[in-house]
Structure 1
Amino acid sequence: MSTYVIGDLQGCLTPLVQLLEQIQYRPEQDKLWFAGDLINRGHESLETLRFIKSLGDNATVILGNHDLHLLAVSHGFGTLKRGDTLTEILSARDRDELMDWLRQQPLCHYDKTLNTVMTHAGIPPCWSLEDTLTFAKEVETKLKSDTVDEFFATMYGNTPNQWDNTLTGLDRLRAITNYLTRMRFCDKNSKLDLKSKEGINTASKGYAPWFNYPTKLPEDCHIVFGHWAALEGKTQQDRIHALDTGCVWGGSLTALRLEDRQRFSTPCTINRKKS
């Protein structure tokens, strides 16, 4: 049995099918992890969502910022942006079923046997593994609750931009969500810069990629994440693995086999310009 972590799909089902053929995916034996952002920007968002859902227990899915954006819009909050490819999902006959399934997915997944933790954007330097799992669960509980609308109504925003254990209510949930699904750069105190979005060398003064700071996770624990296509899959850290290699922007789709850390990739079949 093998476990493969796959980076941001963003509605690119055709490359995913090609990648699964390349790794000779065996449904009866292998497991697939998806590092969030299943949909949006690509032209097969609805088909991608349906396919991942159809994998059942073979797929472990975490939510990314695009997935949360879809959920918020489906609940009447947020607005579609230029370049979004979510309309087909929102008008689909099985929309409610898909949205209910998506809302049940976590923001973090940890496998003790593989000693690997997966979030969409990473883990801030100020959090331990226990912190990460606990804080993610707070948001997950809210997403599954009858009061989820108040979360979506206040989900968007860049503040609070620094973690404080005394944060409460919806501000606390927004901060947790931003760390787990939007983070790229932070300072030594884990204060976020959510405006800089390009490569490592574009950090504002006093900020650096979150993975350049010492982590509070156990020394042998690996982190897998997506979200940051400009990294091109490189962190220069032995146990921190970036998997968004920009498939939707004309790059490639990447899978990491956790048992031996071998990477596989397939070229994108479209060339979409950023908007």
Structure 2
Amino acid sequence: MSLTPASPLAPPTWVIGDIQGCCSALDQLLEHPAVVADNGARFWFAGDIVNRGPRSLDTVRRIMGMGNKAVTVLGNHDLNLLAVAAGVRKPGKSDTIADILGAPDADEIIEWLRHRPMAHYEQNHLLVHAGVLAPWTLKQTMALAAEVEHALQSRHWRQHLEKMYGNEPDRWRDGLGPNKRLRIVINALTRIRMCDVKGRMDLSYKNAPGSEAPDYLMPWFDVPDRATQNTTIVFGHWSTLGLMIRPDAICLDTGCVWGGKLTALRLSDRKLVQIDCISHQTPGSA
């Protein structure tokens, strides 16, 4: 959990969508005149900083080198890297994390990554990789994120990662056991896209909302009576949704690794900077 009080003197903050190892696009974005002009700016990364793109190692080193200027929440691809490093999951055919695992500073990178937050709240903006469940208040979301962070940062982190995979439970209940509780929190914060009207997650649907979606499904941010509707939630993860800016929800995954754009948004005025990317993968395999 990362919870920082708002300050009227806070430096400009840019939020950057999914990079997925596309370090050239990240370098271009950070060197953009509008970004450079914000001297002392801070940067929030919406997770999935690694995997599928060509330069995962360079990307993670670049962000690590930014020190306290950067806040990075964990995404599902970042967790996948931790699981592979822990030996509880084999690399997938589309994974591009071998350069990290074979790097001389691999242990340092894994240690840094597993100490990243699952959620960050500041300036009335909640940063997560994918989304939140409708019943969760802001306070509860941050507390549940902290539970996962504690598990990942403990000496038993490998054993906790073994319990991470699976699509059940798909609906929140206060009485869930420890393993199911860990899994549903991780799934909500790093994988959620669509839910039914009761807030039950459907983790199989990856396309954009619209005519292809079953009638009973809706985006997680449109579930009725969502407890965080008065907090602006900034997220990535959903490249088929793409750029969306609403008072209560902002999506910044614009499909960089699929040949789209890498997008940054300045919190104070919603100014956008976008960098054209080169396609490295087939859309829909995220």
TM tier relative to shorter chain: over 0.9
CA contact (8 A) 2:12 2:38 kept: no
Aligned to 1:62: 73
Deviation at 1:215, TM superposition (A): 2.3
CA contact (8 A) 2:46 2:128 kept: yes
Secondary structure (helix, strand or coil) at the match of 1:264 reads strand
Aligned to 1:5: 15
CA contact (8 A) 1:185 1:203 kept: no
Secondary structure (helix, strand or coil) at the match of 1:248 reads helix
Secondary structure (helix, strand or coil) at the match of 1:229 reads coil
Aligned to 1:72: 83
Aligned to 1:210: 220
Secondary structure (helix, strand or coil) at the match of 1:256 reads strand
Match of 1:19 among 29, 32, 39: 29
RMSD: 1.5
- What one-letter code is carried by the residue in structure 2 that aligns with 1:102? L
Deviation at 1:234, TM superposition (A): 2.3
Residues 1:126 and 2:135 are matched in the alignment: yes
Deviations 1:41-96 (A, max 9, x none): 00010100111111000000100000000001100011211111011111111100
Deviation at 1:24, TM superposition (A): 2.9
**Mapping for residues 242-253 of structure 1, pairs under 5 Å:** 242-253=251-262
Deviation at 1:189, TM superposition (A): 1.8
- What one-letter code is carried by the residue in structure 2 that aligns with 1:204? P
CA contact (8 A) 1:14 1:269 kept: no
Equivalent pairs counted in the alignment come to: 271
Secondary structure (helix, strand or coil) at the match of 1:230 reads coil
Aligned to 1:177: 186
- What one-letter code is carried by the residue in structure 2 that aligns with 1:146? R
What residue ranges of structure 1 are gaps of 5+ in the alignment? none
Aligned to 1:44: 55
CA contact (8 A) 1:75 1:149 kept: yes
**Mapping for residues 1-275 of structure 1, pairs under 5 Å:** 1-22=11-32, 23-25=34-36, 29-111=40-122, 114-201=123-210, 202-213=212-223, 214-217=225-228, 219=230, 221-234=231-244, 237-274=246-283
Q: Identify which range, 94-103 or 18-27, moves more after superposition.
A: 18-27
- What one-letter code is carried by the residue in structure 1 that aligns with 2:156? T
What residue ranges of structure 2 are gaps of 5+ in the alignment? 1-10
- What one-letter code is carried by the residue in structure 2 that aligns with 1:59? A
- What one-letter code is carried by the residue in structure 2 that aligns with 1:257? R
Secondary structure (helix, strand or coil) at the match of 2:121 reads strand
Could you tell me the TM-score, scaled by structure 1's length?
0.95
Deviations 1:193-215 (A, max 9, x none): 00111111233341111011242
